[in-house]
Amino acid sequence: MVNRPVAADWLGLRRSADHRARQNTAPAIQRISSWARAGLGVGQAALIIDLGAGTGSNQAWLAPRLTVPQRWLLVDHDAQLLEVSAATDAEQVVGTDRMVGSVDQLPELVGSETPTLVTCAALLDLLSPREASLIAQTIAASHTAALLSLTVTGDVSFAPEDSLDHTIAAAFDAHQRREDLLGPDAAETVAAMLRDHGAYVEVVPTDWVLDASQPELVARYLTDRAQAAVEQNPALRDAAEEWVRRRTEQLDRGELTVRVGHLDVVCVPETAAADSAG
């Protein structure tokens, strides 16, 4: 797992785009709620383990939509992010704990006495194959539910197009796969691992669609994308700067639209039968 610090301001900028993109998972969340409700005893709450919790955006979005009592455990390697994570005011949440840790600790965190949901947002692409395998194996073996959200796919399209788009994309995707990370292959890889363990898996598109109505987010996305491409291929520095300049001018004129591919991976134990969904 990448231990490079994630900037809290970036997490704040992307929160609204994340929350809009996740509307497609509403039916899956209803199924997770029904499954958890069926397994709860009197006075019990479902355990929600949020891996790579950051500043708490995943909890803020998901907690009000899960219609069962919940106790959350926010897990992140960055103590500073956990410190600024805002508490949710969702009435279903009976408690929130925070823990500095990594995905390697997931097997010891999964509960056996109450229904457990393992969740994350924008995390899978930062994992190694070993870490992803550990998550998939733990979810399948413990018969927990999973909602693994907002994993980038590498499918990014700009309108209008630019001659440098493909070059930047190739360098950026290579950067995402550095040091044996799953990068844009992560969602499909984890889905396949879960299926190999006999779990029923649904993969839901949750793309960002960005335009001039979110100027700060788009500007930051452009500069961060170019910076990662240059880190991967320093020879692109001058061309990437020009690409950002052209794209920023289009953004300022209200002409730029960006679609950033993401996928959510959903696993609900009661449907762990024949895998027939993509």
Q: Mean pLDDT over residues 23-28, rounded?
A: 93
Q: What CA–CA distance (Å, rounded) separates 230 from 172?
A: 8
Q: What CA–CA distance (Å, rounded) separates 126 from 184?
A: 9
- Do 169 and 259 contact (CB within 8 A), yes or no? no
Instruction: With cut-offs at 50, 70 and 90, classify the pLDDT of residue 6.
Output: low
pTM of the shown model: 0.91
Q: What CA–CA distance (Å, rounded) separates 24 from 105?
A: 30
Mean pLDDT of the chain: 92
pLDDT of amino acid 7: 72
| DSSP string for 199-258 | --EEEEE--EEE-TTSHHHHHHHHHHHHHHHHHH-GGGHHHHHHHHHHHHHHHHTT--EE
- Whose structure tokens read 């955006």? 57
More confident call, 8 vs 21: 21
Q: What CA–CA distance (Å, rounded) separates 128 from 194?
A: 16
Q: Which of 86-90, 107-111, 214-218 has the lowest mean pLDDT?
A: 86-90
Q: What CA–CA distance (Å, rounded) separates 183 from 186?
A: 6
Which percentage of the chain shows pLDDT scores above 70? 95
pLDDT of amino acid 277: 42
Q: What CA–CA distance (Å, rounded) separates 189 from 199?
A: 14
Domains for the chain: give ranges and CATH numbers: 8-153+180-208+261-271 (3.40.50.150)
Check whether 2 has a pLDDT greater than 90: no
- Using DSSP, state whether 66 is helix, strand or coil: coil
pLDDT of amino acid 275: 40
pLDDT of amino acid 255: 98
- Cβ-based neighbour number of residue 60 at 10 Å: 18
Q: Mean pLDDT over residues 169-196, rounded?
A: 96
DSSP annotation of 86 reads: P
Q: Which of 51-55, 82-86, 211-215 has the lowest mean pLDDT?
A: 82-86
More confident call, 19 vs 159: 159
pLDDT of amino acid 271: 53
Instruction: With cut-offs at 50, 70 and 90, classify the pLDDT of residue 11.
Output: confident
pLDDT of amino acid 34: 96
Instruction: With cut-offs at 50, 70 and 90, classify the pLDDT of residue 3.
Output: low
Check whether 274 has a pLDDT greater than 70: no
pLDDT of amino acid 71: 97
User: 77-94 burial by CB neighbour count: b if 16+ within 10 A, else e?
Assistant: bbeebbeebeebebebbe
Q: What CA–CA distance (Å, rounded) separates 189 from 173?
A: 16
| DSSP string for 169-208 | HHHHHHHHTGGG--GGGHHHHHHHHHHHTT--EEEEE--E
Strands 46-51 and 70-76, by their bridges, are: parallel
